[in-house]
Amino acid sequence: MIACLSMPYLAATLECQVEPSLVGAPLLMQTTEQPARVWAVSAEAAAAGVSPGMTVAQAQALSPQAHLLPARPAYYQHVLHELARLLTAVSPRVEVAAEHQMAAIYTDLGQDLRPGPFQLAGDLSQMVQKNLSLSPALGLAGGKFPAYVAAGSIGPRRVLLVTPGQEGSFLAPLDISCLPLAAEQARRLDLLGLRTVGQFAGLPAGAVLTQFGARGRLLHQLARGQDDRPVLVYPTTPDEQVTRRLDRPDIDAAALSQSMAVELAARLAARRQGALGLELRLALSGGDTWQDRLTLRRPSAGVESLARHLTTLLSRVQVSTAGVKLTVRAGDLVPLPADQLSLEQA
C-alpha cells in the first residue's frame, strides 16, 4: 500500500507559518532576477489567475492586492527534507515529488497495515502535524498515481482509501486532465473526443502504443489504475552530531548548550557548512526515547546562534533521572558563503 501526502501551495503555507497575518491573503513569492518573476503563489492568488513564471508586473495586474515576498526555495526544500526524514521512521521508502505549486511525498507502507490503514494514516498525519505544523491530505492506494489522485481530491487532514483492485474504477469518471499529459498529448486526446480517464483507459493497448508511443502506454496503464513504479529509498544526508551522557538530573541547560555548541560549531566550520535543522534526542535508561527538532529559517554554524537554539530545545524537556544519553544532531547542511562564514565565526 502506498501513502501519498499532498500539500498544495506549500511555499505559501510555510510563509504563513512565519507571518500568520498573511493567512487568507493573496501571496506572490518572487525571484530575484530582473524582471522579477513569480516563483510560487497562494491559493487566493491562483484563483485570480496568477501562475508561476509570470512577471511580477503581470501578476499584480491580475491580483493588485497581492503581497510580494521573496521566494526561499532552499527553505521550502529543507522542510520537505525534514518531512521525508520524519517519514523514514515508518518506512525507508520515501519519495519526494515537489513542484512550485504542489508537494507530494510517497511512502511505501508495505502489506502489513495493522492496526488498519485509517489508523496508520491518522498516525502519519498526527506525526506531521506535531513535528512540522503541516496538515497534508493523505491518499492510500496500491500505486503512486492513484494515491496521488486520491490525496489531491480531498482537503487537509482528510484520508481517502482506494480499495486494492478498485483503482481503475476510482479513476474512470475523473477528467482526463488528471493524467500527467504533455500539451500535445492533451490536444490529441481532445480531438479524439476523450474527456474522462475511463474513456482513455477503454482504448485497446495496441492502438494507444501505435498512436502515442511508450509514453502513451505508460499513461494508458496509469488510467487503468496500474502503477507498479516503486517508491524510492530516500537518500540520507550528511550531518554532524554531539553526544553527552548526563550523570545527574539537575542539568545546567545554559552551560550544556554552550559546551555542545562549541563542539558543533568547530565541526561545521571545518566543513564550511551551516545547519538548517537541529534535533535533540534523549535515550533514557529504561530504553525509552524522546526527541524534538527545530527547523531554522537561516543556516546556523556559529557558537552563539547554535547555543541559543540548543537552549530553546533543552527548555522543552525536563530530565528527571540520571544516566540519560543526550544527542544533538545538526542536519540538512548547506554550504556557507565566505562572508556568512566569517560572521558566524566572529
CA 100 – CA 39 distance, rounded (Å): 7
Write down the pLDDT at residue 296: 87
Residues of the chain with CATH 3.30.70.270: 1-164
Judging by DSSP bridges, how do beta strands 67-70 and 27-30 pair with one another? parallel
HEC readout, the chain: CEEEEEEECHHHHHHHHHCHHHCCCCEEEECCCCCCEEEEECHHHHHCCCCCCCEHHHHHHHCCCCEEEECCHHHHHHHHHHHHHHHCCCCCEEEEEECCCEEEEEEECCCCCCCCHHHHHHHHHHHHHHHHCCCCEEEEECCHHHHHHHHHCCCCCCEEECCCCCHHHHHCCCEHHHCCCCHHHHHHHHHCCCCEHHHHHCCCHHHHHHHHHHHHHHHHHHHCCCCCCCCCECCCCCCEEEEEEECCCCCCHHHHHHHHHHHHHHHHHHHCEEEEEEEEEEECCCCCEEEEEEEEEEEECCHHHHHHHHHHHHCCCCCCCCCEEEEEEEEEEEECCHHHHHHHHC
Write down the pLDDT at residue 294: 87
Residue linked to cell 518531512: 83
CA 27 – CA 50 distance, rounded (Å): 10
Nearest C-alpha neighbor of 95 from the set 137, 131, 145: 145
Top-tier CATH class for 240-345: alpha beta
Q: Which of 1.10.1660, 1.10.3470, 1.10.287, 1.10.150 would CATH assign to domain 175-223?
A: 1.10.150
Judging by DSSP bridges, how do beta strands 102-108 and 273-283 pair with one another? unpaired
Residues of the chain with CATH 3.30.1490.100: 240-345
Residues of the chain with CATH 1.10.150: 175-223
For residue 9, give the C-alpha cell: 501551495
For residue 30, give the C-alpha cell: 518572487
CA 327 – CA 312 distance, rounded (Å): 15
For residue 198, give the C-alpha cell: 475511463
Per the CB < 8 A criterion, the answer to whether 134 and 18 are in contact is no
Write down the pLDDT at residue 111: 76
Compute, in degrees rounded to 10, the torsion defined by CA atoms 258, 264, 267, 269. -70
Find residue 6's DSSP bridge partners.
Answer: 104, 137
Which residues touch 33 (CB under 8 Å, ≥6 apart)?
A: none
Write down the pLDDT at residue 343: 47
Q: Please give the chain's pLDDT, 346 residues, in tens.
A: 899 999 999 999 999 998 999 999 999 999 888 888 999 999 999 999 999 999 999 999 999 999 999 998 878 887 888 888 888 888 889 999 877 678 899 999 887 666 677 788 888 888 898 888 899 999 999 999 999 999 999 999 899 999 989 999 999 999 999 999 988 989 999 999 999 999 999 999 999 999 889 889 999 999 999 999 999 888 766 788 898 887 776 778 889 999 999 999 998 988 888 998 898 888 765 556 677 888 888 888 999 999 999 999 888 876 665 567 888 989 888 887 655 544 454 4
Nearest C-alpha neighbor of 54 from the set 40, 71, 66: 40
pTM over the 0.85 mark: no
Q: Please tell me the CATH code under which domain 1-164 is placed.
A: 3.30.70.270
Around 200, how many Cα atoms within 13 Å sit in the side-chain half-sphere?
35
Per the CB < 8 A criterion, the answer to whether 148 and 139 are in contact is yes
